[in-house]
Amino acid sequence: MVRKLSLLFAGALMGASAMSLVYGSPSSTANAAGSETYKQLAIFGDIFERVRAQYVTPPDEKSLVENAINGMLTSLDPHSSYMNPEAAKDMRVQTKGEFGGLGIEVTMENELVKVITPIDDTPAAKAGVRAGDYIAEIDGEEVRGLTLNDAVEKMRGLVNTPIKLTILREGADKPLEITIVRDIIKVKAVKFRVENDVGYMKITSFTEKTYDDLENAIEKIKSEVPDDKLKGYVLDLRLNPGGLLDQAVSVSDAFLDRGEIVSTRGRDPKDISRFDSRPGDDIDGKPLIVLVNGGSASASEIVAGALQDHRRATVVGTRSFGKGSVQTIIPLSENGALRLTTALYYTPAGKSIQGKGISPDIKVEQPLPEDLAGRDVSRGESDLKGHIKGVEESDEGSGSAAYVPPDPKDDVQLAYALELLRGEKTDPAFPPNPDKAVMNNQ
């Protein structure tokens, strides 16, 4: 059940939050609207007043306005939206990568919050919270009836403030009451380990801390495995919904020695921004394999596309999500924000992956477990209602299955990558030839 919920949540995240972020200015101006537009706005005002005055029950006026604004924005594309102050604050917390909280990864099961795992050396871990625990009450308030986001928001809070959790634990004869004092939780954007003679790095999201976490991972791997024994690296971008554009550029730059990483193109044909790499390859030219699937979106696709076009890495897995648009975050009054699609991004070869995705150099399907067999677990931008149609989008669409087995022993895609790096498998696409890099001449 947990696997299903986690998978569905990943899919929902793709539609709502998988984006590259560029922070904009609240002082941006637009061209003046025509007289016909103002007539339509007058009609809107008339309807609003009639609803406010005559609807059968008194409506929440703030919600009416917010829903009207979101209706306008979501009619543009699935990634443009209005964020009220609470949503804008949550977005800033997510992209910063640290917050005041407990230090647990959770999901929702049977209307209760289930602990997937406590993060090492955090208040929750120190207080004795265990994987598999169910949180039934938060400060005396029942969790039943709350959404997962509501429950998470209640558990976050000011540093050094206490919170009491009522926990149901298998084997315990009665509920446990645990008081935890919140602390700064720094979410690791990069998880890593050594697979004997291969360095494995999984980027879970592109926050303000991603590049620093990646650099730390590379240093630790180098310190654990002698250079003459290290066969190469695996960069796992599966189920990564994206994040900050500048972090995607920095991560790509860590492995590239020269050339363009990505370009963004706005409404005006002259509005083109290019991001280039700097000299220096942080893994010293070692072989690199990038893993992608239908859960790899936005910033993940920028990295995979750049390394693929430069022939710096071999991309293994299945077709990525296909979100090739850039959202500008424009601060508004009262701490709200407008998230507006303002550009599309292109790989170094000049390819738009909007609605198309990154096609792997070596396609390796990940078998589904019995409880997901026969279900449609594919995720893709081309499936989203109202998405911007990409210039290279075809009937084939974008995306693929968004599933990674929880146990690495069952991970067919990872196993394939390790066998390639160790020379146990061969393929014409590995190792790639940098002399055959595909660059855009425009």
Which positions are annotated as active-site residues?
A: 298, 309, 323
Give every CB contact of residue 271 below 8 A, 6+ residues apart in sequence: 265, 343
d(CA 372, CA 256): 38
* C-alpha distances in Å from residue 314, one per residue of 140, 259, 358, 362, 398: 52, 18, 12, 8, 19
**Residues 356, 357, 359: CA angle, nearest 5 degrees:** 110
Nearest CA-CA partner of 376 in 354, 361, 397? 397
From the number of C-beta atoms within 10 Å of its C-beta (0-12, 13-18, 19+), residue 380 rates as: buried
Nearest CA-CA partner of 84 in 99, 67, 60? 67
* C-alpha distances in Å from residue 153, one per residue of 93, 138, 176: 11, 11, 21
Helix or strand (DSSP H, E) at 166: strand 162-168
168-187 core/surface letters (b: 16 or more CB in 10 A; e: else): ebeeeeeeeebebebbebeb
Nearest CA-CA partner of 358 in 310, 427, 298, 434? 298
Nearest CA-CA partner of 321 in 377, 278, 375? 377
d(CA 85, CA 410): 43
d(CA 395, CA 415): 31
Residue 185: DSSP 8-state: E
Which amino acid appears at position 137 of this protein? Answer: E
Instruction: Determine the distance from the C-alpha atom of residue 273 to the mean position of all C-alpha atoms in its chain, rounded to a whole number.
Output: 23
**8 A C-beta contact, residue 245 and residue 220:** no
Helix or strand (DSSP H, E) at 106: strand 104-109
**8 A C-beta contact, residue 294 and residue 238:** no
**8 A C-beta contact, residue 264 and residue 345:** yes
